[in-house]
Amino acid sequence: MSGALVFAWSGVVLFSLGLFGFIVHRHLLRRLLAFNIMGSGAFLVLVGLAQDGRGVDPVPHAMVITGIVVAVASTALALVVFRRWYRASGRTDLPEDT
Amino acid sequence: MDWNSLILFGVLATSLVASAVIFLLDESRLVLRSAFNVAAAVAKLLLVLWIIWGVYRNVEYELRFTIIDGVDFILRADALGIMFVGLSSLLWLFTTLYAIGYLEKVPNRSRFFGFFSLCVASTVGIALAGNLFTFLLFYELLTLSTYPLVVHRGTRESLRAGQIYLYYTLGGGALLLFGVVALHVLVGDTEFVPGGSLSGLDPTLYPLLIGIFVMMVIGLGVKAALFPLHAWLPMAMVAPAPVSALLHAVAVVKAGAFGIARVVYDVYGIEFANTLGLLGPLAIAASITILYGSLRALAQDDLKKRLAFSTISQVSYIILGISLFGPIGTIGGLVHLLHQGLMKITLFFCAGNYAETLGVHKVSELDGAGQRMPATSVAFTLGAFGMIGIPPMAGFISKWYLGMGALNAGMDWVLAVLILSSLLNAAYFLPILYRIWFRRRERPWCEGKVVGRFETPALLLIPTLATAAFALVAGLFAGMPFSPLYWAQVIVSREYLP
Amino acid sequence: MIGLWSVPLLFALPLALGIISLLATPAWRARLGLAGLPLLLAASTAVFVHLVLAGPHTYALGHWGAPLGISLVVDGLAAGMVLLTAVVASLCALYAWVYLRDQPPSTSFFWPLLWFLWAGMNGIWLAEDVFNLYVGLEVMGLAAVGLVALKATPQALAAAMRYLLAALLGSLAYLLGVALLYANYGTLSMAGLHEVATADVTTQVALALIILGLLLKTALFPLHAWLPPAHGGALTPVSALLSALVVKGSFYILLRIWVMLGPEVTPFATAQLLGILGAGAVFYGGWMAWRQHHLKQLVAYSTVAQIGYLFLFFPLVTGTGPEAARLAWDGTLMMLIAHALAKAALFLSAGNLILAVGSAHIGHLVGISRFRPMSLFSFGLAGVSLMGLPPSGGFTGKWLLLNSAILSGQWWWLIVLFLGGLLSAAYIFKVFRMSFREGPQIDHSASPPLLLDVTALLLAAGAILIGLTAHLPLGWVRIGSPFGAG
C-alpha cells in the first residue's frame, strides 16, 4: 500500500461525499459546491492512481488540467443559469426536484 | 429498367401522381380535380388491360431493387396479381365517378380524393407485390391511407370507428410482420412462386411453419374480416358510401383475402399446406365466418350494416375456396374474388343512392322503392340474386365451383355450409326485394335531393348500372375467354400443373 | 486530398464561427450562421465521400500523435454521424433563421451556441480515445444547456438547470470511469484498449461508472426525468437539435466503448439489463407520450421511448452469433439515423402547428387539417417512421432488429418492438384524430412562413427515403467496423 493509493482513496472518499451532498441538498449553490468537490475527488483519483512507480506521467496531468477547465466552465454556466433562475422565480431550489 | 417494368411502375404511378396532384390542388378547383381523377383512373385501366394481354401471352413484367441485403422490393405481374389489379382498376374508375357525384356538397374533398388515390395505389401495390416484404409494405400503407377516409366526416362516431379500425389493422399488421420476419430468418427472401417454395424444408421445422402460417393468417384475417377479427367492419360503415363501396368491394377486405391466397398458393403451396394440415382449420374458420356473418345480417335493420355483415360472410367464401384442396375449389374461391367485388359494389352503390336521393337508411323504410327508383332497384335485385347464387348471375358460378370443389376435396360438410348460407342469404335479401317491389308506400317520401331527368343524378346511377351489368355479364358469359372464370382457370393451371 | 483537409475543418470552422458570432452583433450572427452552413455541409460531405472512396483512416490533429495529441478516427460510423449532423443541423438552423426573427434579440445567441454544439459533436464522432470523448461530451453538453436556457421563461430556466445538473453528474461518473481505465491499462486510445482489455474487477467497475454516466446523459429510463422539460420546453429548433442529435452523442460513446471492449469483457448480464431498461423506456415513454396534452411534451416523451429501441443493441450483440450481431448493428444504426431525421421533422412540424393555432394544447388542433395540410403531412410522414410502418427508415430498422432478435434466440425483445410500435401509433394518431375532427369552425389560422414547412418536410422525406434505399447507407456506415462486410 504505497502513499499514492492514499491519494486515490481520498479521492474516492471526496467523490462519495460530494455525490451524497449533490443528491441530498436542495439549495442549488450547495449542489454546485458538492459537484465541485466531486470533481476534485475525481481528479485526485486520476492523479493518485497514476503515480504507481511509473515515474512522472504527463497524460493524467493533461487530463486533470482539461478537467479543471471544464469544471470551471460548467460552474460558471451553472452560476449564470442559477442567477437567472433566481431572478425569474425567487427560488433557490428547483421545483418538485429529483 | 426496361419497357415492361416501366409499364408496371406506371400502373402504380398513375394513382401516386394523382394523389400528389390532388393534395396540392386548391379545394375550389372542382373541375380540374375531377378531370384529373377520372383521367388517372382511365389511364390506369388502359395500362392494366395492356398488361393483362401481356400476361396472357406469358410476357414477363418485373420491377425490382434492393432495400437491404437479402431483401428486395419486387413488383411483378402474374396471373393472380393481375386479376386483382384488373378488378381494382375497373372498380376504381366507377367509384371515382360515383364519389364525385356523391360528395358534391361535402367539405374537404381534396383531402378525400388525395387519400382515395393513395388507397388505390396501395391496393395496386398489394396486387403486384412479388414477395412478402413488398406485400407487407403496401398492406400497411393501405391501413394508413384508409384511415383518413373512414374518419372523413370528423364526427365523434367516425373518429371512434377510425380508432377501432386502427387497433385491429395495426395489430394485425404487426402479427403479419412477425410472421414475415420469422419466415425470412428461416428461409430468406420469400418470393411468390406458384406452388410455393417451402415444401423442400426439413420436417423438424414444420411446427414453426405452422405457427408462422397461423400468425400470418390472423394478421391477414383482420383485414379479411375473419371471425372473430371482424368487429371493425360494421363500425366503419359510418364512412361515406363511396368509401364503404371501395373498402368492402375492392380494397381492404379483398387485400386480406388476396393475401391469404398468396400465402397458401405462392408461399407455402397448396399441396404443402395440405401436408401440414393447415387447410382443414382454415376451412372451418371460413365456414364459421360465413354462417356468423349471415346470421348477424339477418338481425340488421340498417341497410349498410346488413350489407357489411353480408360482406363478412361473402369474403369468407373466397377463403373457403382457398382452403379446398383441388383445382375446382381453388377456381371457385378465386373467381368469387372478382364476382363478389362486382356484386357487392353494386349493392353499396344502390344503398348510397337510396340514402342520397330518398333519405332512406333502413330496410324497414324501403317500401315501394321500386316504384320510385326502378333502375337502382333493378341493379339491387341483380346484386342480391348474385349474392344468393341464383343463375345466371355470377354468384351462382362461384357457388357451383365451391360446391364441386368441396366434394372433390372430400369435405362434404362444406356443401352443407354452402347450402345453409345460401338459404340465409335468401332470408335476408328476399325480404328487401319484396319490400322494394311489392309493398306499397305508406308515407310520402322525404326527398333528400332534387334530381334531374333520371331518378337520381347520373353520376350516381351510371356506375351502379355498369357494375350490375358487369356482374350479370360475368355470369352469363362465364364460358368465354377473358371472363373471370376463364382467368381463374388460367391461374389454377399455372398453380397445380408444374 | 480534400477529404483529408476537411477533417480539421470540421473543428476549425465551427469553433471559429462560434467565436466570431459571439463577438458580432445580433443581426450579423444570423447572417454569419447562414453563411457557415454550406461550408460545414461541404466539409462533412467531403469527409464522407473520402471515406467511401479511400476507406477508413486515422488522423492526428496538428500531426501531434497520441497520447498527448488528439488522434481522430474516420471510419464509416464516424463519417456517417458527421454527415447526419451536418444535414440535420443545417435544416434546423435554416428553420431557426426564420423562426427566431420573431423572438427577442437575446435569442440570437442561438448561433454561437449552435457552432459550439456542432464542434463538440464532431469531436465525439471522430474521437479516437476515451478522454477526447469526455471533452467533446462536455462541450456538447454545456452548449446544449445554453440552448435550452435561451428561452428565458422560468420553466425553461428550471429545465436548463435540471439538465445541467444531470449532465454534470453524468460526465463526472464517466470521467471517474475513464480514470480507472487509464490507471489499469495505461492507455486511453480505443485501439489500444481494444488490445489489452480484460474482464478484471477494475474494468468492470470502470465500465459500470461509464455506463451510469452515459445512461444519465442519454436519458434512458429510469434516469430520464430531465429530458421532457428540457426538450419539450425549449425553442422549437433547439428541441429538434437536442432530440435528434445531442442524445445520440452519449449513446454513440457507449456504443463505441462497448464494441471496443469486445464481447469477452462486456458482461452478458449488463447487456440484458440495458435491454430491459430500454424496454422500460419504450413502454413508459410511449405511455406517457400518449397521456400528454401539450404537443411538444408528447414529442419529448416520444424521444424517451425511441431511445429505448437503441438500447436493444447491447443484448443483441453480446453473446450472439456474428449474423445476429451484424443485423443488430445495422438495425440500431438505421433506427438512430431514421430517428434523428424523423424526430427533428416531428419537432419542427409540431412547432409549425403550434404557430398556426397559437396554442400548444393538442385539443386546440381541432380542424387544423383544412389549413395546414403540409405541416400535418410532415408530422404524419415523420410519425410513420416513428411507428415503424413501411416504407420508412423506422420500419427498416425495426425489421433488422426483429431479424436479429429471432436469429439470436432472444425472442422476448419481439414483444418490446411489437408493443412499442402500437404505443407510438397511439400517440401519433392522437394528434391526427384531433386534426381530423370537425369542431367549432376556426375559419383562419396564422400562416407561418413557407420555409418552416419546407425544412420539416425535407427531414420527414429523408426519414422515409432512407428506409427505401437502406442498403446503401448501411453499407457505407459498416466500413471499418467490426461488423464489417462479410
pLDDT tens-digit series, residues C450-475:
888 899 999 999 999 998 888 888 88
Search chain A and give the residue with CA nearest C141.
A74
Q: How far, in Å, CA of B45 to CA of B19, rounded?
A: 16
Which residues in chain A are contacts of C145 at CB distance < 8 A?
Answer: 77, 81
| Among candidate residues C75, C76, C110, the one with its CA nearest the CA of residue C94 | C110
Q: What pLDDT, on the 0 to 100 scale, is given for residue C442?
A: 58
Number of H helices, E strands in chain C: 20, 2
Report, in this order, helix, strand and coil percent for chain C, each rounded to 5.
Answer: 80, 5, 20
Within 8 A of A62 by CB-CB distance, chain C residues are 68
Q: Do chains B and C touch (3 or more CB pairs under 8 A)?
A: yes
Q: Do A46 and C168 touch (CB under 8 A)?
A: no
Tell me how far apart the terminal alpha carbons of chain A are, to the nearest angstrom.
39
Measured between CA atoms, the residue of chain C closest to residue B73 is C468
Q: Is residue C411 part of a domain?
A: yes
CB C111 within 8 A of CB C33: yes
Give residue for cell 430556466: C157
Contact at CB, C138 and A49, closer than 8 angstroms: no
Output the nine-digit C-alpha cell for C278. 430500454
Question: pTM, whole model, 2 decimals?
Answer: 0.90
Optimal mutation site among A43, A69, A81, interface C, most CBs of chain C within 10 A: A81
Interface contact B68-C406, CB threshold 8 A: no
Distance from CA of C176 to the nearest CA of A (A): 6
On whether any CB of chain C is under 8 Å from the CB of A44, the answer is no
C149 touches chain A (CB under 8 A): yes
The stretches in chain C having pLDDT less than 50 are 485-486
Rounded CA separation C126/C59 (Å): 9
The amino acid that residue B207 corresponds to is P
Measured on CA atoms in the order C105, C106, C110, C116, is the torsion positive or negative?
positive
CA distance C408 to chain B (A): 10
R_g of chain A computed on alpha carbons: 16
- A3-89: CATH topology is Helix Hairpins (1.10.287)
Q: What is the pLDDT of residue C485?
A: 43
Report, as ranges of residue numbers, the positions in chain B whose pLDDT lies below 70.
Answer: 1, 248-249, 443-454, 482, 496-498
- For residue A98, name the pLDDT band (cuts at 50, 70, 90): very low
- The pLDDT assigned to B451 comes to 58
Residue C180 has a pLDDT of 87
**Contact (CB<8Å) C175/A67:** yes
Nearest chain C residue to A76, by CA:
C142
Domain of C296, in residue numbers: 282-486
Does the beta-carbon distance from C138 to A59 stay under 8 Å?
A: no
Q: CB of B332 within 8 A of CB of B288?
A: no
Contact B185 C407 (CB under 8 A): yes
The residues of B whose Cβ lies within 8 A of any Cβ of C are 23, 66-69, 71, 73, 107-108, 111, 136-138, 140-141, 143-144, 147-148, 151-155, 159, 162-163, 166, 170-171, 173-174, 177-178, 181-182, 184-185
Nearest Cβ partner for B174 among C422, C432, C468: C422
Of B321, B366, B322, B334, nearest to B347 (Cα)? B366
Question: Which helix (H) or strand (E) segment is B115 a member of?
Answer: helix B109-128
Choose among C418, C411, C397: nearest CA to B208. C411
Task: Please check whether residue B161 is in contact with residue B153, taking contact to mean a CB–CB distance below 8 angstroms.
Answer: no
Do B8 and B62 touch, CB atoms closer than 8 A?
yes
| Nearest-angstrom CA–CA distance, C325 and C331 | 10
Taking only residues 108 to 127 of chain C, the set having a beta carbon closer than 8 angstroms to any beta carbon of chain A reads none
Total domains in chain C come to 1
Measured CA to CA in angstroms, residue C103 lies from C100, C150, C235 at distances of: 5, 10, 10
From the CA of C408, how many Å to the nearest CA of chain A?
A: 38
Q: What is the pLDDT of residue C441?
A: 56
Question: Mind telling me how many Å the CA of B319 is from chain C's nearest CA?
Answer: 26
Ordered by start, the domain boundaries in chain A are 3-89
Cis bond leading into C67, ω under 30°?
yes
So what's the ipTM on this one?
A: 0.92
Q: For residue C304, what pLDDT is reported?
A: 94
The answer to whether A98 contacts C226, with C-beta atoms less than 8 Å apart, is: yes
Q: What is the pLDDT of residue B444?
A: 66
For chain B, the domains span 296-498
Neighbours of chain C (3+ CB pairs under 8 A): A, B
Residue B481, C-beta contacts closer than 8 angstroms, at least 6 positions apart: none
Of B259, B271, B129, the closest CA to residue B197 belongs to: B271
Nearest Cα to Cα of residue B417 among B431, B407, B408? B407
Look at residues B266, B216, B243 and name the one whose alpha carbon lies nearest to residue B80: B266
Residue C290 lies in a domain: yes
**Closest chain C residue by Cα to residue B173:** C389
Per the CB < 8 A criterion, the answer to whether C178 and C210 are in contact is yes
Cβ of A94 and C161 within 8 Å?
yes
Q: How many inter-chain contacts (B to C, CB under 8 Å) are there?
A: 84
Distance CA B414, CA B419 (A): 9
Nearest-CA residue of chain A relative to C68? Answer: A59
Q: What is the C-alpha to C-alpha distance for residues B328 and B319, in angstroms, rounded to an integer?
A: 14
CA of A22, closest CA in chain C: separation in Å?
Answer: 9
User: What does the pLDDT look like over A19-62, one tens digit per residue?
Assistant: 999 989 889 899 999 999 999 998 988 888 776 666 777 788 88
Of the partner residues C145, C175, C183, the one whose CB lies closest to the CB of residue A49: C183
Rounded-to-integer distance, Cα C398 and Cα C393, Å: 8
The Cα–Cα gap between B341 and B205 comes to: 37
**Which string of b and e fits B10-20 if b means at least 16 CB within 10 Å?**
bbbbbbbbbbe
Can you give the pLDDT at residue C146? 93
Query: What is the interface size between A and C, counted as CB pairs within 8 Å?
Result: 95
Residue B441 DSSP code: P
Per-residue pLDDT, C117: 96
| CB B321 within 8 Å of CB B334 | yes
Contact: C142, A77; criterion CB under 8 Å: yes
User: What are the C-alpha distances in Å from C175 to residues A62, A64, C132, C171, C280?
Assistant: 13, 10, 11, 6, 27
Residue B104: CA count within 13 A, CB half-sphere: 12
Residue B447: predicted pLDDT:
60
